Structure 1
Amino acid sequence: MRAIAFNGKFRAGKRNGVWRVSDRLIREVDGLLAAMPHEERPDVRMIVPAGCPAPDPYAVIRVEEDDHGPSQSWEQRRLPALARGSLLVNLANLAPVFHWPKVTMLHDAQFCRPDCSYPWRQRMGYRLLSPLMARSSHLVLTVSDYSRRDLAGYGVIGGGRVEIVHNGADHILEVVADDTTLPRLGLVPGEYLLMFGSVKAYKNNQVVFDALDLAAAAHRAGQGWPPRRLVIIGPGRAELEAAGLHPPADAAFAGGCDDAALRALYQGALALLFPSRTEGFGLPPVEAMLCRCPVIAAPCGAVPEVCGAAALMADPDDPTAWLEHIAALENPATRETMVNAGLARARRYTWAGAGRTLLDLLMACAA
């Protein structure tokens, strides 16, 4: 069986969603390898640039740290030589074009969209390299059937083999909720709405802001229910307003949150609002459902595929539709129905299952 090498360059980047997926999948594979009989186990290593080794030792996977630092040149030129003879596994959207055989995971096709908000140089780089990486890969992985169709529609992937490895979400249950989070922000459980803020156009934050402005205006006129306070994770007011977005005057800004704070916010929210126009997978709705938080989302991207009927779907351009679903969740019976449906749906997305799928595919390729 051919040796397997993981591309560890992702460890040099910021800890975003792609970083989390790459790191967790490798750790799941490591655990599964450790449980295998030694004689059946392939030789597996992770090659990392200088300065970014794995923070914790793996049980089986060897970490080989190069003496050259991370760069595009390292990935395209040096990594192929370091991984020569191995099946090279690239889980973070980028891979060396001139290495065979390899497996490449492309998480989505956002870089092909005019509203992706990526810098021009980065967008053009992805548009040039991604089709070359995909077509030179023995196997392409992605995170949803929507992403597979989107990548094909934009011509990124050709007629080669493509397999889906869904994200897991159960990491959110592995931490204890931070009980200081809600008091620090002046929040009462069940009395606020939650949203991930973003200046990226496709994240579509403004429809939620408009909905809550409508609710506030109706309440001042003596109509409707008092609007719930909105809690925004991520960017602050100044950053959002600089991008032409207008959060409600009473919005609370949670800033960047670790998983413990995030779990506390999910558990205390009336609902998670997720208005994005396109997502390759859509991890926050699944995390929220595991924390018994109902989800209102735009029926766009992979969200209908991932959430099914367990989330309420609202038109991404209609603020009134968002208000109607928020009002529906004020009914305890409706909210409980959505909580139960969300739990049942979200429990299918586990990192153990994703790791098992990935290892089975890699073993088949290496054989």
Structure 2
Amino acid sequence: MAAPIYFNGKFYAGELNGVHRVADRLVREVDRLAAASDKKLDLRLLIPKRRQFSPQVNVFKVEEQELGHTQRWEQGILPFVAKDGHLINLANLSPIMHRSKVTLIHDAQFYISPGSYATHFSIGYRILTPIMARSSRAVLTVSEFSREMLGAFGVAKWQKTGVLYNGADHILEAAPDVSVLQKNGLEQGGYAVVFGSTFVYKNVATAFAAFADPQLADVKLVVIGPSAEKLRASGLNPPPNAVFVGKLNDGELRALYQSALCLVYPSRTEGFGLPPLEAMLCDCPAIVAPAGAIPEVCRDAALYADVADIAGWVMLVNSLRQDEALRRAKIEQGRKRAATFTWASAGERLMKLVQSLPERLS
């Protein structure tokens, strides 16, 4: 009898952030592929009894875990629950003591930008992640840049790490909800979009400084995520033309992209960089920083400004306002580039790895 393949679903206990959304989508893609495959796998999804959201699967055998929301369960109980099979971990963390596991480590930000995280969080990741990686049968990450960084910081050997690019086409699955435009007084082409964050590496200060320039006074800067109060409390200074829309669902985000002049994405580093691809799929040009995995993901489909070049960001925003041919070219290039990042492809790559696992534990 083939060994069962367990998926660590502890992430369902957390809020639906970027990492958890990726993990959940990969679970659903594996479930979809398993339903269509002639090769039947014993797939088991271990999820917390206390959880923030739930999986939508048909093939997986879902098993609730009483303490599945805790680190104690992940490190101390999970290795015994899954001891007779392989274990797939998709949200950065995995139990050190399990002997046949795959671990997806999304990036190395806790090394590159430790100041963006609480001290105990950063130290914990820096100690535990290399041990988790070295004790894994295979390690995955989301870009060649992240693969190189994990190797450079001694987290995982380059040769042992595979790249599993994220998909971006989820943004096209939700119908655009234009009420977000009406509610916030936004007009077609009259605003740019930025994702607000208090993390230092997100470099939101550069976007705020650019849109404080008088040349962009008549262009609204729509800030997704944290409130103005939270951003100010972290030392950031939003410009007068900033509009704060809070957290958005995919339908609202799609509508926002589709009517925007552009997305501005000034991060100093990214393990992948999903927003530019989402924007491109919605015919929204992206202005990005040439940092981290962003050039790898965007290539020549985006416009580039240095992380600290305020005047450069102002110039490129104005270029998209004034040069319709440039804007059309970037929309076309962006649509083609972003279309290469699909969740179907990500799921197929993960499924190939899952199917390659030995039927019996050694």
Q: What band does the TM-score fall into relative to the shorter chain?
A: over 0.9
- The one-letter code of the counterpart of 1:153 is A
Amino acid at match of 1:362: V
Match of 2:230 among 235, 239, 243: 239
Task: Assess if the C-alpha contact under 8 Å between 1:212 and 1:227 holds in 2.
Answer: no
Do residues 175 (structure 1) and 174 (structure 2) align? yes
Deviations 1:307-345, CA, capped at 9 Å, x for gaps: 000000101011011011112111111100000000000
Task: After TM superposition, list the pairs within 5 Å mapping 1:218-237 onto structure 2.
Answer: 219=215, 227-237=218-228
Q: List runs of 5+ in structure 1 lacking aligned partners.
A: 220-224
Tell whether the 8 Å contact from 1:177 to 1:264 is kept in structure 2 after alignment: yes
Instruction: Identify which of 286, 299, 311 aligns with 1:308.
Output: 299
User: In the comparison of the two structures, how many residue pairs are matched?
Assistant: 357
Letter in structure 1 aligned against 2:296: E
How far, CA to CA, are the matches of 1:53 and 1:246 in structure 2?
33
Residue 120 (structure 1) aligns with: 119
Amino acid at match of 1:30: D
Q: What is the CA–CA distance in structure 2 between the aligned matches of 1:257 and 1:147, rounded to whole Å?
A: 27
Matched, 1:329 2:320: yes
Distance across 2 between alignment mates of 1:116 and 1:155: 20
Deviation at 1:212, TM superposition (A): 1.8
How far apart, CA to CA, are the structure 2 residues paired with 1:197 and 1:61? 36
- State the shift of 1:241 in Å: 1.1
What whole-Å deviation, never above 9, does each CA across 1:46-97 have from its counterpart, x for those lacking one? 1123223973552211101123342111000100111012110000000000
| Aligned partner letter, 1:278 | T
> How far apart, in 2, do the equivalents of 1:21 and 1:366 lie?
25
C-alpha distance after superposition, 1:184-208 (max 9, x if no partner): 0011011101000111111001111
Contact persistence 1:135–1:160 (CA under 8 A): no
Q: What letter is aligned with 2:278? A: E
Deviations 1:218-263 (A, max 9, x none): x5xxxxx754111100111111111111111121001011111101
Q: 2:350 aligns to what SS in structure 1?
A: helix
Q: Which amino acid is 2:334 matched to? A: G
Q: Percent identity?
A: 47
Query: Which string of whole-angstrom CA distances, capped at 9 and with x for unpartnered residues, describes residues 106-156 of structure 1?
Result: 000011134541111111110111000000000000000000001111111
CA–CA distance in structure 2, aligned partners of residues 109 and 56 of structure 1: 27
Opposite residue 203 of structure 1, the aligned amino acid is K
Q: Which residue is equivalent to 1:27?
A: 28
TM-score (norm. length: structure 2): 0.96
C-alpha change, 1:103 and 1:237, in structure 2 (3 Å) is same
Instruction: Check conservation: 1:103, 1:141, Cα contact below 8 A.
Output: yes
**Residue 129 (str. 1) matches residue 128 (str. 2):** yes
Pair 1:271-2:262 in alignment:
yes
1:9 equivalent in structure 2: 10
- The farther-off stretch of 258-267 and 204-213 is 204-213
* 8 Å Cα contact 1:5-1:47 kept in structure 2: yes
Structure 2 residue ranges without an equivalent (≥5): none
Amino acid at match of 2:265: F
Task: For residue 280 of structure 1, give the secondary structure of its aligned residue in structure 2.
Answer: coil
Q: Aligned letter for 1:149? A: E
Name the stretch that deviates more: 232-241 or 272-281. 232-241
Q: Does 1:319 align with 2:310?
A: yes
Instruction: Say which SS state the counterpart of residue 359 (structure 1) adopts.
Output: helix
**Distance (Å, rounded) in 2 between the aligned partners of 1:84 and 1:53:** 26
Does structure 1 residue 346 correspond to structure 2 residue 347?
no
